[in-house]
Amino acid sequence: MKDKLHELGARAREEMAEAGSPEELDEIRIRFLGKKGELTRILRGMGGLSAEERPRVGKMANEIRAAIEKELTAKSAILKKLIKEQMLHNEKIDVTLPGTVVWRGGRHPLNIVLEEIENIFLGLGYTIAEGPEIETDYYNFEALNLPKDHPARDMQDTFFISNEILLRTQTSPVQVRTMEKTAPKLPVKIIAPGKVYRRDDDATHSPMFNQVEGLAVDQRITFSDLKGTLAYFAREMFGKKTKTRFRPSYFPFTEPSAEVDVSCVICGGTGCRVCSHTGWLEILGAGMVHPRVLEVSGYNSEDVTGFAFGMGIERITMLKYGIDDMRLLFENDLRFLQQF
């Protein structure tokens, strides 16, 4: 019986040494020390022992049990520590790894340019005015000196909702709406950005595009004020060396009228493909507010004068960034938009 106990102790030690997990140790404990385990089974034979032998064998069995339990506890502690270390090693966080990129979006080139235009004029004391995109024939045409049969209407064919209501073709109606609200107070100094609509669609025209209107009305406003203001604007927008050129033109709501060019932003004026080898780029229309427009808006054209101008934001944006197709501005292709 003693031999059997010794053998059991040795085997248990061996198995514990080889055990690789706490689960295996538990299994060993049950198999050797459990109620139906090997030790119990051996001790069942105690009845056949002599009276002197019984306590000795009993003591030996207890010692072996204690030794195995002690070893189980020690081994289990070692294994748990090892497992924890391994876990810490495997799960360690590399703080130098690049993080998840959060897609933040950006500003549309048209908005970048519009904001620049607004800031230039806000700096000159202008305020920002707005008008409706669905406009009446009166404000879009008639009040601007374009009666129903006027030939200049042909250039601005638009989307009519009824005979008298249409999608505005220009931001110029905001001139009249603003003056009506302000008259007879002076001065009037506004810019009016917004969407306009025309029956046009090609690489340089879109059925919807954006304009910024400008209007300054006061006593003794002259064409020189207009020239100075727009020359300053061009230098701020396109660079200090930018020159401006005024060519005589016609708009029904200004007299005299001009088309304004800037020295080519690509070649600086020597001539290139962008400026069709002229050295100049047209950027806007302008002029002195027609007396009739002042009158219908509530001002006495004997007392006050004013200048006005209107530019296309898409065109300015295309010139500024060298974009050769307007449709790129509306397609929302990320490869395009991410460049701004």
Least Å distance between CB 293 and ligand DAH? 10
Looking at the Cβ atoms of 28 and 289, the one nearer to ligand DAH is 289
> What is the DSSP annotation of 173-215?
HHHHHHHHHHTT-S-EEEEEEEEEE-S--BTTB-SEEEEEEEE
Q: What tokens were used for 285? A: 């229309």
- For residues 279 and 269, is the Cβ–Cβ distance under 8 A? yes
Looking at the Cβ atoms of 72 and 314, the one nearer to ligand DAH is 314
Residue environment code for 235-252, b if the CB has 16+ CB neighbours within 10 A, otherwise e: bbbbeeebbbbbeeeebb
Least Å distance between CB 312 and ligand DAH? 8
Least Å distance between CB 306 and ligand DAH? 10
The region of 52-60, 117-125, 285-293, 323-331 touching ligand DAH under the rule CB under 6 A is: 285-293
Inter-CA distances, 29 with 10, 100, 193, Å:
14, 48, 85
Least Å distance between CB 252 and ligand DAH? 9
> What is the DSSP annotation of 230-265?
HHHHHHHHH-TT--EEEEEEEETTEEEEEEEEEE-T
Dist. CA 340–CA 12, nearest whole Å: 74
The set of residues, in sequence order, having a beta carbon less than 8 Å from that of 37 and lying 6+ positions away, is 30, 31
Looking at the Cβ atoms of 131 and 285, the one nearer to ligand DAH is 285
Least Å distance between CB 340 and ligand DAH? 26
Does position 173 bind ligand DAH by CB under 6 A? no
Does position 326 bind ligand DAH by CB under 6 A? no
Does position 309 bind ligand DAH by CB under 6 A? yes
Binding ligand DAH (rule: CB under 6 A), the pick from 76, 145, 158, 172 is 172
Binding ligand DAH (rule: CB under 6 A), the pick from 121, 233, 246, 251 is 251
Residues 7-26 that bind ligand DAH (CB under 6 A): none
Least Å distance between CB 138 and ligand DAH? 16
Q: What tokens were used for 93? A: 């966080």
Place of tokens 């009158």: 295
Looking at the Cβ atoms of 76 and 210, the one nearer to ligand DAH is 210
Q: Which residue is nearest to ligand DAH (CB)?
A: 310
> What is the DSSP annotation of 46-71?
GGGS-TTHHHHHHHHHHHHHHHHHHH
The region of 23-31, 78-86, 98-106, 283-291 touching ligand DAH under the rule CB under 6 A is: 283-291
Does position 210 bind ligand DAH by CB under 6 A? no
Does position 314 bind ligand DAH by CB under 6 A? no
Strands 188-197 and 127-128: parallel
Binding ligand DAH (rule: CB under 6 A), the pick from 170, 178, 242, 305 is 170
Dist. CA 185–CA 298, nearest whole Å: 10
Least Å distance between CB 205 and ligand DAH? 12
Does position 294 bind ligand DAH by CB under 6 A? no
Asked if residue 184 has a cis previous peptide bond (ω within 30° of 0), the answer is yes
177: amino acid identity, one letter: R
Least Å distance between CB 98 and ligand DAH? 49
Does position 297 bind ligand DAH by CB under 6 A? no
The neighbouring-strand residues paired with 111 are none
Task: List residues binding ligand DAH (CB under 6 A).
Answer: 170, 172, 213, 251, 254, 285-287, 308-310
